[in-house]
Amino acid sequence: MTNCKRGHLHPITQIIQEINTIFYALGFEVAYGPEIESEYYNFDALNIPKNHPARGMQDTFWVKNKENTVMRTHTSNVQIRYMENNKPPLRIIVPGKVFRNEATDATHETQFYQLEGFMVDEVTTLGTLKGVLKIFLEKFFNKKIDIRFRPSFFPFVEPGIEVDISCFKCGGKGCSICKNSGFIEALGAGMIHPNVLKNVKIDSEKYQGFAFGVGIDRLGMLKYGIDDVRLFYSGDLRFIQQF
């Protein structure tokens, strides 16, 4: 009889399940959507019109022989699809695979997993966003986390921010991992742009919302000290069986 080892869930799947559990306890639903997407849902409805410079940042794969069709560059497409069919208040997260035409290296892959999250209600602020992210990150990393917001630009939010978290290695004192800053860049976020709400026929005068996006692979790399994202997709059992 062949001596076979029992299989188990891939580490990315385990991370997604942990994320879903944390956000479910915070009152968020989990939503999914198509990986092959129309230009409208991937760009236009998210306030990224044709010829907008932000499209160049996405390094998009266009689907051959299918006009205006792409491999989604983010899971934000589900944000639009969900808001089209549901009325506020809304709280969802969207874990899923996305695709970028990037040069592969230790921190970049042509396919990876992203977590989109958003909340829309009559009273929603950056303070609400900070509270949600702090609870999530502290539960995910199982340690106290300090959060820092920095101004940034994303076309589907206004204002847009980069979210930094206190360094795990030095506890915020400064080291080579955090480049002596005490913080590590973790995710992008902001308040949903009024144009996005108008595109899904939600009254932007009555409702506000926040949205955030983070690489699930990156969260796993930070949590487990993994230095090369390609290990997740290598199929190397020496790596997989550690989880």
Interatomic CA distance for residues 43 and 220, integer angstroms? 28
Contact 169, 186 (CB under 8 A): no
Position 150 scores a pLDDT of 95
User: Is 18 within the bounds of a domain?
Assistant: yes
| Domain containing residue 28 | 11-144+188-240
Q: What is the pLDDT of residue 56?
A: 66
pTM beyond cutoff 0.75: yes
Beta bridge partner(s), residue 97: 113
Task: Answer yes or no: is 149 within a domain.
Answer: no
Domain contains 229? yes
Residue 200 is part of a domain; what is its CATH number? 3.30.930.10
Residue 177 maps to a domain: no
pLDDT for position 73: 93
> E-strand spans in 6-110?
29-30, 36-38, 61-62, 69-71, 90-99
Does any domain span residue 170?
Answer: no
- Assess if residue 106 is contained within a domain: yes
From first to last of the 243 residues of the chain, give the pLDDT tens digit.
Answer: 566 777 889 999 999 999 999 999 999 999 999 999 999 999 999 999 887 766 666 688 989 988 889 999 999 999 999 999 999 999 999 999 999 988 888 888 899 999 999 999 999 999 999 999 999 999 999 999 999 999 999 999 999 999 999 887 777 777 777 788 889 899 999 999 999 999 999 999 999 999 999 999 999 998 998 989 999 999 888 898 898
By DSSP bridging, strand 90-99 and strand 111-121 are: antiparallel
Question: Angle formed by the axes of helices 216-224 and 11-25, to 10°?
Answer: 100
Q: What is the pLDDT of residue 182?
A: 86
Helices and strands of the chain, counted as H and E runs: 7, 10
Ramachandran angles phi, psi of 78, nearest 5°: -70, -30
Does any domain span residue 168? no
Both structure tokens of 70: 């792409």
| Number of CB atoms found within 10 A of residue 50's CB | 8
Q: Would 165 be classed as within a structural domain? A: no
Number of domains in the chain: 1
CA atoms within 13 A on the CB side of 16: 20
Dist. CA 202–CA 6, nearest whole Å: 49
Give the three-class secondary structure for 120: strand
